[in-house]
Amino acid sequence: MLSAYSLYERKKRMNLRNKRVLVIGAAVTGIPVIRKLCEKGAEVTLNDFKQAEELQKILAPVRHLPFRFVGGSHPEELADACDFIVISPGIPLSIPVVKRAVELGKEVLSEIELAFRLTGTPVAAITGTNGKTTTTALLGEIMKASGRKTFVTGNIGHAMIAEVDYARPEDIFVVEVSSFQLESTQHFKPRVSAILNITPDHLDRHKTMENYIDAKCGVFANQDRQDFTVLNQDDPETARLASRVGSQVLFFSRKEKVKEGAYVEEGQVVIKLGGKKERIIHKDDIYIPGNHNLENALAASLMAYCLGVKADVIAQTLKDFKGVEHRIEFVEEINGVIYYNDSKGTNTDASIKAIEAMKRPTVIIAGGYDKGGEFDDLIKAFGSKVKHMVLIGKTADRIENTARLLGFGSTHRAADFREAVRMCHELAEPGDCVLLSPACASWDMFTNYEERGRQFKQYVRELKDRA
């Protein structure tokens, strides 16, 4: 187990001047990584599977910087000409150039690992299959309300590396971290970490659940007894990870009392830590609805409490926090039908939680990129609530076949996304709701789930204008 780095030790280790660094993947993290490496005097090569002309808009902010671009493939020989690699989360570690680098004993780092080595600011890190973005955003708001300068970064859409030069030791990074990012960490060491839940996801990348869980465990791998790890008591797969943790383990639960951590007692959110028990807020006063959001609130409250935030500050933020874009986000009401954008429902467990949160008969849009998961649980969750399912994307056949086998016959196929929204508008009746919660990633039709969600909102508002 590695001890914490001091700011001096981290920066000394990461003296980047004249280092030859290979950055693989432009995307969301690649551009800020290039900018920071060039600022620090590194010799940078950017490699992407796309050609430069396909990346013109993405590369525009760094076009003036002195880096070399190699596009169209991932040449294995690039590994020989670099000192280390910084890899974007969407690039698998199985590509030959990365394997070659590992054989040569060269480090392959994620952006959050590089950022961690360049800062002395403490980190609160959140991972899990579902709820990461909401919990990260909520914890960020709590920390800001406490008066502490807070940088909300990571998989939530804003690279940590972009903020390292602005953050001081008394500030805090609140970081959403994915399994893809954690695969390439070595010294990443949060002050407080959390795993919210673990259900099958990204098996096209990780191949097995064991590999997926191992990647998630990177969030606490380097923590020691001075740190805290927060785990979900109600999720057996997550709770059993306590035996692998070297820090102080705390649990949260909405179903039962825990010895140390956060739970619900007589409707009140309670935190018990170090023998002290404190009531925070009644669960009905938390603004964001649903049992899954109660779990997110428990986790964020407990993490904030570990970081010294007072109960009244936590309570007020829980009353005020309105949720995040693309997660069961109210869009419009048209002719008595409410439209919800849950584009962040990129796996079946997330979409099941969205369905459970619906209070009306529901028409759902589902389907997208195939990550290798099954859809039986999704269809079983429909019960009497889901009236119709409109299918899009590469998984449409698989989902439809599963639905038929399980006795759900009201499926409809859309030629494109606009038609899917129009079909929902025609199928829904006053008193219903339309829910975009695809249970799949977006990469077959969109750049990311954000683009998918914003497109949905645009089409819905066009319907409202016509109505």
The answer for residues whose C-beta is within 8 angstroms of residue 98's C-beta and 6 or more apart is 24, 79, 85, 87, 91, 92, 108
- pTM, entire model: 0.80
117 neighbors 106 (Cβ within 8 angstroms) = no
Q: Give the model's pLDDT for residue 200.
A: 67
Cα–Cα nearest to 358, from 335, 338, 331: 338
DSSP 401: H
Over the chain, what is the mean pLDDT?
93
Phi-psi label, residue 367: left if phi above 0, alpha if psi -120 to 50, beta otherwise:
left
The per-residue pLDDT for range 166-217, each reduced to its tens digit, is: 999 999 999 999 988 999 999 999 999 999 999 866 666 667 888 889 999 9
Pick 9 or 252 by higher pLDDT: 252
**Predicted confidence (pLDDT) per residue in 373-402, tens digit:** 899 999 999 999 999 999 999 999 999 999
Task: Give backbone dihedrals phi and psi of 360, rounded to 5 degrees, phi first.
Answer: -130, 165
d(CA 2, CA 214): 17
Specify the pLDDT at position 324.
82
Q: Mean per-residue pLDDT for 333-350?
A: 94
Over pLDDT 70: what percentage of the chain?
A: 96
pLDDT tens digits for range 394-442: 999 999 999 999 999 999 999 999 999 999 999 999 999 999 999 999 9
Answer whether residue 38 shows pLDDT above 80. Answer: yes
Q: Note the pLDDT of residue 290.
A: 84
Q: Which of 368, 372, 399, 348 is nearest to 199 (CA)?
A: 348
How many Cβ atoms from other residues are within 10 Å of residue 236's Cβ?
9
Which whole-number Å values give the CA distances from 39 to 48, 68, 107, in the listed order?
21, 15, 21
**E strands in 233-359:** 248-253, 261-265, 268-273, 276-282, 329-334, 337-341
Mean pLDDT over residues 147-160, rounded? Answer: 93
Domains along the chain with CATH numbers: 17-108 (3.40.50.720), 113-320 (3.40.1190.10), 329-466 (3.90.190.20)
E-only strand ranges, 119-183: 123-127, 150-154, 172-176
Quote the percentage of the chain above a pLDDT of 90.
83
Retrieve residue 364's tokens.
């759902």
**Max alpha carbon distance in the chain (Å)?**
65
